[in-house]
Amino acid sequence: MGNFSKKEGKSDESRESTAKELFLKTLADVYFIKSSAVSSLGSIASRVVNTDCKLLVLQLGTAMNGQILRLKLITSLIANNGIILEPRSQPYDEIVNYLKASDQEGAMAKDAIILSRFLVVNSTEISSFKLLIKVAPVLKTKMVRHHLKICLTEATVEKTILETKLSTYI
């Protein structure tokens, strides 16, 4: 039976290592998706026709900037425990291109498409935040879950706002 507990210990270490790697990759993905979206907001907002919709896109950018700062804080908190996030230098061009609607669309359709694409990206972020919250205790770093929960709450509010605005086009 002694051997069993040693195997169990290795399994726990393996799970912890996997959980840390999952956390770091997911955190990096969310960070760079948000950064990519924010870096292209000026270009995206210039494609939006409706003034209210344009204002909403810019307000989303403000909220995303707050979440980016919170994600940087989380990165600093986990770095204090020796867990380093791998930096990426370039934004995700695929995200930027995805968020921009085609110029061939009509004005109202273009606005609705841009909003729906923000909604898709936002929904992915919400799922990622939920996963990060579940995995965060493995890091044994104080306040990480707290900041992730705030990001999740903000992303959920953004989703509700996007859904409400998008429903005006349907």
Encoded tokens for 106: 């009509």
> How many domains is the chain partitioned into structurally?
1
pLDDT of residue 2: 47
Q: For residue 51, count CB atoms less than 10 angstroms from its CB and return exposed for 0-12, middle for 13-18, buried for 19 or more.
A: exposed
Tokens 């998706």 belong to 33
pLDDT of residue 4: 44
Encoded tokens for 37: 């979206």
pLDDT of residue 49: 87
pLDDT of residue 84: 66
- Dihedral-angle region of residue 140 (phi above 0 means left; psi in -120 to 50 means alpha; beta otherwise): left
Domain that holds residue 81: 2-167
Average pLDDT by consecutive 10-residue portion of the chain (170 residues)?
A: 49 84 90 87 86 91 92 86 63 67 70 90 94 92 92 95 92
Question: 46: domain CATH number?
Answer: 1.20.1260.10
pTM of the predicted structure, to 2 decimals: 0.81
Contact 144, 77 (CB under 8 A): yes
